[in-house]
Amino acid sequence: MSSYTGRWRCLFVPPNHLELCLKSHVVGPSSYPPLLEVAVPLYIPLTHPLLDLPQVAPVSIDSLIDKQEVLSFGYCNAQTRALYRFLHQASAGVEAHGAELGQYYRDRYPNLRPWIEYIILLRDLPPAIAPHRLPVHKQMLRDNFSRAVVFLALSSMKSQEPAACSIRAMSSDQVIATLRRALEVEFANLHHVCQASLNNIALIRNILIQVGGLRNDAQLDLLDIDSTYVHISEILSILMGGPQTTHRQTMTELIQQLSETRSFINLHVNEELIVNMTEKLELNFWVWVTNIPSDWTAGFSSQSWKSLRVLSNESLGLCHSLQEGHNAEKIFSVWAYLVRHTYPDARDSIQRSAGGIFSRACQSLQVQISLPQMTLDLMTMTCISRLFPTKGAKRSSHSSSINALDAMFRKSSTEDMSMTTNRLLASLHRVLIADDFSHRDPKLSHFISQIGLPNLMLELYDSHTDQYWAYRIRNHAPHSAAFGHIGLRVGDFPVKLSPLRQSPEEYSTMGIAYYADMVKAMRGVIGEKGTRRHLEDAGVTEDTEVAEGAESAGTSVLR
C-alpha cells in the first residue's frame, strides 16, 4: 500500500515521540503497536522519529472498541461508538488542515467515504454563527449561499406550509444553521444506511461553488446531473424541514414568497431576479422542467431524464428562446414521440392535453417570424398528429398542403392533418438544405430529421410549399404575408418558379441522408430495436430513394 495520498503521506511514530511531530495529524493507533498512524504534509522531511512503513494496514475500527462499552451497550453499539470516535478525530483534522487532509482519508479509508464527504462539506460551508466582523467577501458568500438555499427550498413548498413560514423569517445565519443541522443528522445516521447516496453532498457543493465557495472536484464527480438538477428544489426543501410531498411553485407564487422572505428583504424580487439566480446556479434545465406538469414526469427514471435533457439542450443550442416556458410542452411532445416505443408512458401522459398543445403550436406557427420557433411549432404539430391520429376525421380535401394549413388557421379545420403536417415538414427540411437558399440551416434540418421524414413522392404543389417557407424565412414574415405572396388563397393558382439548385447528387442520396441522420440521432436514446420501429412508422426504409419524385415534381426554392 502506498504511503502517499495527495499532499499528505502516511507515516508512523512512537507515542512517546509524538510531541516532536508538530505539523502532523494523528489518525489513530496503528495495527503495528505501539506505533501511531499520522498524516504528514509532503514538505516535512522523513526524519527521526517518523517511520515510513507502507506495508502496515490502516487503523482498524474494531481495535478501537471499548470493552466496557461492549458490556454496557452490546457489541454493535460499541462498534458504532468506536467508529464515530475515529471520525471525530478525522473531523478535527479536516477542520484544522482543510480538504487536502480529507483526500488522505478518502484514499486510505475508502469504506468510510460517505462520512468523510460530509465532514469535508460541513467544514467548507459558511459559518452558522459568524464572528462579529466577518470579512466582506465571506459575508457575501454567506448571504448568497443562504439566498440560494431559500430560493430552491421555497420553490417546492406551498406558502402556507409551516416550514415555508419558518424559512421566510430566517436570517442568513439561521438558514445555514438549519441546513447544517440537517446534514449533521444525516451524518450521524449513515451507519444505518446500507448504501449511502452522496448526491445531496455533491448538489450542495455545486451550489456553494456557483456562489463563490470552495471548489472540490472529488465531490462534484459524485453529482448525478441528469436527475439531481430536476429534483434539486425538492432535496433542499426536505433538508430545510419541508414536507416529503413537494409542491411545484409557479413563477408568480415564487415571486410572492421571496418578496416576503427575510433573506431577500433588500432586493427587488421579480422574474428577472429569479432568471438571473437560476443562470448563476446553472439550473436552466431545472427552470425549464418547472414549466412541465409534474404528473407528466412522475416516475421518470434517470435515463428518461437524461434523454429529455439531451433534447432540451439541443433546442437551447439552436436558439435560446426555445427554452422559454411556453415551449416546454412542445419539446416534451417531440420527446414523447421519439421515445414512444421505449417509454410509452410519455405519450400517455400528454394524451389529454394533446389537442391544446397542437392548437397552441398552430397559433404560434401562424404568426411566428422566428425560424427556430416555426420549426419547433411544426415539429410539435407533426408529432402530435402522428401520436394521436384524429379518429373519424375526413382526409384533407385541399389541393395543396399550404391550402390545408391556411384553412386550419382560418377555420380551425377538423380534417386529418397528419399527411399535411408531414408534407409541410418535409418541405421545410428541403428548403433548409437547399444549396441555392441563402438562409439554409443544416443544424435546424438535422433537428427536424430526428423525428423522421416520411418517404413521400413529391407532388406538383409541393413547389408552392417550398416557396412559402422560403418567403417566410427570408422576409421574417407571418403566414398571412407569405400565403398572400404565393397567391394560393383559393384553389389552384399558376406560379412560375425558378429551377431548384441542389448539389448534383442531392436528391439521389436524400433518402439515405435522412435515414443516416435519424439513426445517428435516435440510437442513443431509444436503442436499435426502437430506432427500426420508429423509422418504419415514419415510412423511412434503408433503400429509400426520392430522386424520381424530386425530378418529376420540379420543386424550387427562390434565393
Distance CA(197)–CA(328), nearest Å, equals 30
User: Which of 116-130, 366-380, 525-539 has the least mean pLDDT?
Assistant: 525-539
At 166 the pLDDT is: 96
At 303 the pLDDT is: 85
For the segment 189-193, the average pLDDT, to the nearest whole number, is 91
Could you give the count of Cα atoms lying within 13 Å of 452 in the half-sphere of its Cβ?
25
At 495 the pLDDT is: 36
3-state secondary structure 122-172: HHHCCCCCCCCCCCHHHHHHHHHHHHHHHHHHHCCCCCCCHHHHHHHCCCH
**Model confidence pLDDT, tens digit, residues 212-229:** 999 999 999 998 766 666
The residues near 199 (Cβ < 8 Å, ≥ 6 apart) are 222, 223, 224, 228, 235
Residue 69 burial by Cβ neighbours in a 10 Å radius (0-12, 13-18, 19+): middle
For the segment 287-309, the average pLDDT, to the nearest whole number, is 85
Amino acid at 13: V
Distance CA(214)–CA(72), nearest Å, equals 43
DSSP letter for 395, please.
Answer: B
First to last CA, the chain: 71
At 160 the pLDDT is: 92
- DSSP SS3 for 409: helix
Q: How far are the Cα atoms of 110, 164, 379, 429, 525 from residue 444, in angstroms, in the given order?
A: 48, 44, 11, 8, 19
For the segment 225-239, the average pLDDT, to the nearest whole number, is 80
Count the Cβ atoms, other than its own, within 10 Å of residue 417. 25
The continuous run of DSSP H or E covering 384 comes out as helix 371-387
Q: How far are the Cα atoms of 154, 156, 514 from residue 445, in angstroms, in the given order?
A: 41, 38, 10
User: 52 falls in which pLDDT band (50, 70, 90)?
Assistant: very high
At 410 the pLDDT is: 83
Which three cell numbers mark 216? Answer: 472540490
Distance CA(99)–CA(93), nearest Å, equals 10
For the segment 38-59, the average pLDDT, to the nearest whole number, is 93
For the segment 314-322, the average pLDDT, to the nearest whole number, is 89
Is residue 204 a contact partner of residue 123, using CB atoms and an 8 Å limit?
no
416: left (phi over 0), alpha (psi -120 to 50) or beta: beta
At 488 the pLDDT is: 46
Residue located via cell numbers 436552466: 284
For the segment 252-269, the average pLDDT, to the nearest whole number, is 92
For the segment 231-252, the average pLDDT, to the nearest whole number, is 85
Q: How far are the Cα atoms of 265, 497, 512, 546 from residue 424, in angstroms, in the given order?
A: 52, 18, 20, 16
The residues near 97 (Cβ < 8 Å, ≥ 6 apart) are 25
Kindly calculate the radius of gyration of the chain based on its CA atoms and give it in whole angstroms. 31
* Sign of the torsion formed by the C-alpha atoms of 433, 438, 443 and 447: negative
Q: What's the chain's average pLDDT?
A: 83
Count the Cβ atoms, other than its own, within 10 Å of residue 73. 14
Which three cell numbers mark 308? Answer: 429529455
Amino acid at 259: S
With CA atoms as reference, report the closest residue to 406 among 493, 343, 512: 493
At 491 the pLDDT is: 40
Distance CA(87)–CA(81), nearest Å, equals 10
For the segment 421-433, the average pLDDT, to the nearest whole number, is 94
Quote the percentage of the chain above a pLDDT of 90. 55
**Model confidence pLDDT, tens digit, residues 68-108:** 999 999 999 999 999 999 999 999 999 999 999 999 999 99
At 473 the pLDDT is: 95
- DSSP SS3 for 403: helix
Distance CA(514)–CA(245), nearest Å, equals 45
User: Which of 199-203, 250-254, 421-425, 479-483 has the least mean pLDDT?
Assistant: 250-254
Instruction: Transcribe 202-254 into DSSP letters.
Output: HHHHHHHHHTT----HHHHTT--HHHHHHHHHHHHHHHTT--SS--PPPHHHH
Quick check: 365 pLDDT over 80? yes
Measured at the CA of 552, the angle between CA 549 and CA 556, to 5 degrees, comes to 90
Which three cell numbers mark 145? Answer: 449561499
Is residue 365 a contact partner of residue 381, using CB atoms and an 8 Å limit?
yes
Is residue 335 a contact partner of residue 307, using CB atoms and an 8 Å limit?
yes
With CA atoms as reference, report the closest residue to 431 among 366, 375, 357, 508: 375
**Model confidence pLDDT, tens digit, residues 112-168:** 999 999 999 999 999 877 656 778 888 899 999 999 999 999 988 999 999 999 999
**Helices 302-318, 442-449: inter-axial angle, 10-degree rounding:** 150
Residue located via cell numbers 398542403: 401
Enumerate the domain spans of the chain.
4-109, 125-290
At 393 the pLDDT is: 52
**Helices 302-318, 225-239: inter-axial angle, 10-degree rounding:** 110
**Model confidence pLDDT, tens digit, residues 470-518:** 999 999 999 999 998 887 443 433 333 344 444 444 443 444 443 344 3
Could you give the count of Cα atoms lying within 13 Å of 365 in the half-sphere of its Cβ?
28
User: Which of 13-22, 224-233, 251-260 has the least mean pLDDT?
Assistant: 224-233
539: left (phi over 0), alpha (psi -120 to 50) or beta: left
The continuous run of DSSP H or E covering 41 comes out as strand 36-41
At 374 the pLDDT is: 97
Residue 299 burial by Cβ neighbours in a 10 Å radius (0-12, 13-18, 19+): exposed
With CA atoms as reference, report the closest residue to 402 among 492, 473, 476, 475: 492
Distance CA(29)–CA(57), nearest Å, equals 11
At 487 the pLDDT is: 72
At 494 the pLDDT is: 37
Better pLDDT: 558 or 528: 528
User: 287 falls in which pLDDT band (50, 70, 90)?
Assistant: confident
The continuous run of DSSP H or E covering 132 comes out as none
User: 250 falls in which pLDDT band (50, 70, 90)?
Assistant: confident
Q: How far are the Cα atoms of 375, 439, 498, 542 from residue 433, in angstroms, in the given order?
A: 14, 9, 17, 21
Better pLDDT: 517 or 350: 350
Return the biggest CA–CA distance within the chain: 104
Quote the percentage of the chain above a pLDDT of 70. 82
For the segment 322-341, the average pLDDT, to the nearest whole number, is 94
